[in-house]
Structures are given as C-alpha cells and as structure tokens.
Amino acid sequence: MRALPHGPRTPRSLLGALLLALATVAAVLAAAPAAHADTLVCEQYGSTTIQGRYVVQNNRWGTSAPQCVTATDSGFRVTQADGAVPTNGAPKSYPSVFNGCHYTNCSPGTNLPAQVSGIASAPSSISYGFVGSAVYNASYDIWLDPTPKKNGVNRTEIMIWLNKVGPIQPIGSQAGTASVGGRTWQVWRGSNGSNDVISFVAPSAVASWSFDVMDFVRNTIARGMAQNNWYLTSVQAGFEPWQNGAGLAVNSFSSTVNLGTPGTGSPGAPGEPVTACEVAYATNVWSDGFTADVTVANTGSTPVDSWRLSFTLPSGQRVTNAWNATVSGPTGAVTATGLAHSARVAAGASQTFGFQGTYSGTFSKPSGFSLNGARCA
C-alpha cells in the first residue's frame, strides 16, 4: 500500500514544534559555560581579577611608553608594549598575574600573607605563550618578608626565569647552580637597592610547568636569605620586557597555598604520606576528554569538617564541570570543596565527588593530594 502524503501542519502542531525547539536551545545554553568578556587594562598600575581568585596587573613602572594587557578567563596577553629601555638596566614593567597581596592589592579569597613555617605546600602551574620579536624574561616573582606585609617592598624577592630572550641577565652575579623542583638552575644573587634578590634561571625555555613554590622558598632559606618565621606574601607570574613585548601571554595560571606543618612528619609534611586520609582516583578517558571519580577517605579517629582536597592537574588538563563538590581553578593547582550537605568527612568514612575535563597530549593522573593541608596516601 502506498503511504499517504503528509498533510499541512496545523497551527497547534507548529506551536508545539516551536516550543520544543526553544526548549532544546535553552537546554544547550544552560549546559554551555558562561562566556567571559576579555578585559583591557592600560592604566599604568591598573588591574582586574580573573577566575574570582587572581589579580592581573599591567604594572608598568620603568617607562612612559604605552602598555596594555588583556585579561582572559585563564590568564592574560600583552596587547601593546611600546618602546625600549637599555638591556643593562631594569626592565620596562612586569605585566603579571598573582595570588596574594601586592602594594595593598590582594587577590580575592587569598590566605596570603602566610608564615612559611605554617605552609605545607604551595602548588602552582603556568603555561606561557612566547614571541620572538622582543627582549624579555618569562618569570615568577615570589615575595618574602619578616612581617605579614601587604603594602610596599618586601625584604627578599625570589625570581624564577623560565625563559630568557636577548642580552639580559638577573640582578647581581651567578653564585653557582642548584637542583630545585626536579630541574637544574643557574643561581644568581644580588640586591636592587630596595630588597635582596635571588634568581633561578632555566638553561633553556620552559613553556609550561607545574611545581611547588615552597621548594624555592626552602632553598632560599637554606642560603640564609630568609627565615622560617618570615611570611610568603605573593606568588606572581608574568614577563619582564626590555624591548617590545606585544603578543606575550600567560595562557593559564594557578596558585594554591596549603596550610599545614611542613618538615616534621606531622600532617602536611611535604613528601611524606599521611595515613589519616586516603584518595582513590578513577578515570574514564577518551580522545580529548575524561571524567574522574574521586573518593576521599578519612582514616583517622576524628572527623574532618569543611574539607578541601588540593591537587595539581598535569599540564594540558582543564576541568569543565564538577558534581558533589565545588572545584576551583580549572587548570594546574585545583581545590575541591565539599558542599553544604557533604562538608564533613566522619572518622572512618568517605566522601565522593567527580568532574569532567579536557586534555591535550598524553593523559596522566595527578599526584600530591592534600586534605585541609595534610598530605594523603
């Protein structure tokens, strides 16, 4: 039997189809991440916040030539960097992103300044975009002071040069080499007249890296340039340009400071698993994405309230959404926090959460889980 032809749609059927289409569009929009408008900052010391937890600053102080940065949802890029200064002197500026406090400008929700003796770990992660038409370094700037200082110059400045382009060198003179964070560095020491400076210079460009800031802090203390009762006030990452610089970018940045007791074997001691908590991390991986189911077990005899699980995602991985916990910091150092109904992990019990993400390159699992500053097995 030949099928009958379709008849014309009635107004009611057209209305139903329209409503169904609108519902589908609404569902897609609700599932999509909210768009983030990039923010242009051109004021000399202008700044803005990203991810609700970091500050991006223009920080032009060595030249009157215009400079602008554009803050993105995960970092920033230098969109204008005119002029040049002599390469045997100070750079033009330090466009950067930071966690902590810098000249009274404190990043949202930061727990810095924090006393060094009370920091178990400070994982950080960076991904840079370089250019070949400029003279610059790509560097971290880590500040230490005997007091919990939020304004002005700190006593000691730690710089980590991850890339150096052009005839420039750190302050002072080379004092040897060191192995820190699993890498070998040239070590330079000196003073800029306002504060002491120690610089760790990579022998070749490092475009992305995840590491513990405290490895460099402890090396600096061992050299007599700081003390355990001093304070870490900020962790910054960006560029020092001498000539040009447009196009330089921090594609992503993360910084977390885990409070705890380092170096004593008690919860929070770096490098030593703590039997009071255990983490199980199960994944389902496909070509460019993955899901992770994470179980946090309290193996101690007392409950853990307002739990926070900190860990560092391998380079190239990004969290896109999560369930049963709030996961802050989409890349690098991230922290999962229990929701109102799951904020306590009773003694002998566990809490489970999960998240979905994307990755590039070879997939691997994170390590170094810490529960409220205590390292977990």
d(CA 375, CA 304): 14
Residue 235 tokens read as: 């962790």
Q: Beta-strand (E) ranges in 113-256?
A: 114-115, 119-121, 123-129, 135-145, 156-165, 173-180, 183-191, 196-201, 208-212, 231-243, 249-255
d(CA 213, CA 305): 27
Which residue do the tokens 């991810």 mark? 51
Q: Regarding beta strands 196-201 and 156-165, do their DSSP bridges make them parallel or antiparallel, or are they unpaired?
A: parallel
d(CA 305, CA 240): 42
One-letter amino acid at 376 equals C
d(CA 75, CA 250): 5
d(CA 168, CA 240): 10
Is residue 210 a contact partner of residue 332, using CB atoms and an 8 Å limit?
yes
Is residue 143 a contact partner of residue 156, using CB atoms and an 8 Å limit?
yes
Cα radius of gyration rounded to whole Å, the chain: 24
d(CA 343, CA 35): 30
**What proportions of the chain, in percent to the nearest 5, are helix, strand and coil?**
10, 45, 45
Residue 328 tokens read as: 């802050």
Beta bridge partners, 161, equal: 139, 201
Alpha-helical (H) ranges within the chain are 11-31, 213-222
Catalytically annotated residues = 157, 240
For residue 369, give the nearest of 234, 274, 261 by alpha carbon: 274
d(CA 208, CA 254): 12
Q: Which helix (H) or strand (E) holds 151?
A: none
